[in-house]
């Protein structure tokens, strides 16, 4: 609370059931600046509340951490146990190379941002598996279904400027695996959605939940791979046709069955329908406590594209597709982590182009 320039690295952070009051966050970052949490296990929050709670903070980096709750061990119907809850005046939040999942009983949201959260980057993460029962709705949300504590934030959109890229969404249950929950600007690109069991759709779109309402703005979905996610459609709006019209899709691969739901996939530029992307060794991830955070990279490597994959070279450059709309929180977006500028031809999926790490 009220600290700056602090790094926490290499800890196993956990609690036990019955310690603390419901609603607490086990790792609580409040009114802070320039905080790094790296190479940690963060799990078993008190009373199965939030593992990480962030409020009024600027420039937070959480990197290469495994974050999980076993979900409602007491079978309470009042449990709201998030992996990470970000709320109220948070800016420049980066979650990179982490693994969020749920275990055992009732599940809930893995990560989301309530009112007042802007300049959010989620990249290179694994989201799932999750149980998805009880209060579970959308495990990963850019925005939130209610405006949270800052309902009248100025500008009128409670949250915005999200970049969600290079993530693996796997084994998720609930209403949808990912939500465009009424933000002003959210980019979903170069992700993999694999073997999720959500109902009634894979992605949900809602209006601005703030007091001033209105459609979500500047929504993008491109260069993603949707593979083996059952027979449910990909896109669905929740009484939000105007928000749906503000969603632009391009150059995604949709495996069998290629069901668009509220969008016509056949009209999407560059779409690949009913194709197998040719992963090298895809698998449902199983957490091993003894393997450390290296297992995050090992799991993701199974979703590289084999030689001859139709997803190689089939993507579109974000500069070309989104232009100046891309949030300023992610500068030099043509550059990967510790890597050179990307070529003009992009792959679909996690690694963006064939020569990337």
Sheet holding 111-113, edge to edge: 25-30, 50-55, 84-87, 111-113, 140-143, 178-181, 203-206, 235-237
Q: With 60 as the cut, is the pLDDT of residue 340 above it?
A: no
Q: Sorting pLDDT into bands at 50, 70 and 90, what band is 334? A: very low
- CATH class assigned to 4-325: mainly beta
Beta-bridge partners for 67: 42, 100
How confident is the model at residue 79, as a pLDDT?
55
Between the alpha carbon of residue 330 and those of residues 85, 310, 315, 325, 346, the distances in Å are 21, 28, 20, 11, 18
How confident is the model at residue 49, as a pLDDT?
78
Between the alpha carbon of residue 317 and those of residues 89, 120, 268, the distances in Å are 31, 20, 16
What mean pLDDT, rounded, does the chain reach?
87
Written as six digits, the tokens of 310 are 């139709």
* Helix residue ranges, H only, the chain: 241-245, 294-301, 318-322
Q: With 80 as the cut, is the pLDDT of residue 18 above it?
A: no
- Residue 315 to residue 34: CA distance in whole angstroms: 34
**Long-range contacts formed by 8-13: CB under 8 A, 24+ apart:** 8/35, 8/36, 8/37, 8/38, 8/40, 9/36, 9/37, 9/38, 9/39, 9/40, 10/38, 10/39, 10/40, 11/40, 11/41, 12/40, 12/41, 13/40, 13/41, 13/42, 13/43
Q: Sorting pLDDT into bands at 50, 70 and 90, what band is 335? A: very low
Place of tokens 């590289």: 304
Judge contact between 117 and 157, C-beta under 8 A.
no
- Residue 181 to residue 247: CA distance in whole angstroms: 12
Q: What is the pLDDT of residues 164-184, one digit of tens each?
A: 999 999 999 888 999 999 999
Q: What is the pLDDT of residues 78-133, one digit of tens each?
A: 556 789 999 888 888 999 999 999 876 656 689 988 888 888 999 999 999 987 66
Closest-CA residue to 55 (of 92, 25, 7, 88):
88
C-alpha torsion angle, residues 294, 300, 306, 312 (rounded to 10): -130
Q: What is the pLDDT of residues 204-221, one digit of tens each?
A: 999 998 878 899 999 999
Q: What is the pLDDT of residues 53-83, one digit of tens each?
A: 999 999 999 999 999 987 665 555 555 678 9
Q: Could you tell me which residue, 353 or 40, shows the higher pLDDT?
A: 40
Give 353's Cβ-side CA count (13 Å radius): 15
How confident is the model at residue 343, as a pLDDT?
59
Mean pLDDT across 141-169 = 81
pTM, whole model, 2 decimals?
0.93
Peptide bond connecting 354 to the previous residue in cis, omega within 30 degrees of 0: no
Between the alpha carbon of residue 133 and those of residues 48, 228, 229, 283, 325, the distances in Å are 15, 21, 18, 23, 36
Q: With 70 as the cut, is the pLDDT of residue 50 above it?
A: yes
């Amino acid at each position: 609370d009220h600290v700056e320039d602090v790094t926490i690295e290499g800890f196993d952070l956990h609690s036990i059931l019955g310690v603390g009051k419901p609603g607490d966050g086990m790792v609580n970052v409040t009114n802070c600046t320039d905080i790094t949490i790296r190479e940690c296990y963060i799990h078993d929050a008190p009373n199965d509340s939030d593992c990480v709670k962030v409020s009024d903070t600027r420039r937070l980096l959480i990197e290469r951490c495994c974050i999980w709750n076993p979900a409602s061990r007491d079978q309470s119907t009042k449990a709201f146990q998030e992996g990470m809850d970000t709320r109220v005046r948070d800016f420049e939040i980066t979650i990179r190379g982490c693994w969020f999942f749920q275990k055992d009983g009732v599940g809930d949201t893995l990560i989301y941002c309530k009112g007042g959260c802007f300049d959010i980057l989620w990249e290179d993460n694994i989201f799932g598996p999750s149980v998805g029962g009880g209060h579970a709705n959308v495990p990963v949300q850019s925005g939130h279904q209610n405006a949270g504590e800052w309902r009248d934030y100025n500008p009128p959109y409670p949250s915005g400027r999200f970049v969600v890229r290079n993530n693996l969404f796997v084994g998720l249950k609930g209403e949808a695996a990912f939500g465009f929950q009424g933000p002003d600007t959210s980019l979903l690109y170069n992700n993999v959605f694999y073997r999720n069991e959500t109902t009634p759709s894979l992605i949900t779109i809602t209006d601005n939940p703030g007091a001033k309402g209105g459609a979500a703005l500047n929504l993008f979905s491109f260069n993603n791979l949707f593979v083996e996610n059952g027979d449910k459609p990909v896109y669905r709006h929740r009484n939000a046709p105007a928000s749906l019209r503000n969603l632009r899709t391009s150059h995604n691969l949709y495996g069998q069955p290629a069901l668009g739901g509220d969008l016509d996939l056949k009209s999407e530029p560059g779409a690949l329908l009913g194709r197998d992307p040719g992963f090298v060794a895809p698998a449902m991830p199983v957490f091993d406590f003894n393997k450390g955070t290296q297992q995050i990279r090992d799991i993701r490597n199974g979703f590289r594209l084999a030689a001859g994959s139709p997803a190689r070279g089939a993507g579109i450059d974000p500069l070309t597709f989104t232009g100046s709309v891309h949030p300023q929180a992610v500068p030099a977006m043509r550059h990967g982590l510790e890597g050179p500028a990307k070529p003009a031809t992009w792959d679909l999926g996690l690694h963006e182009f064939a020569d990337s790490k």
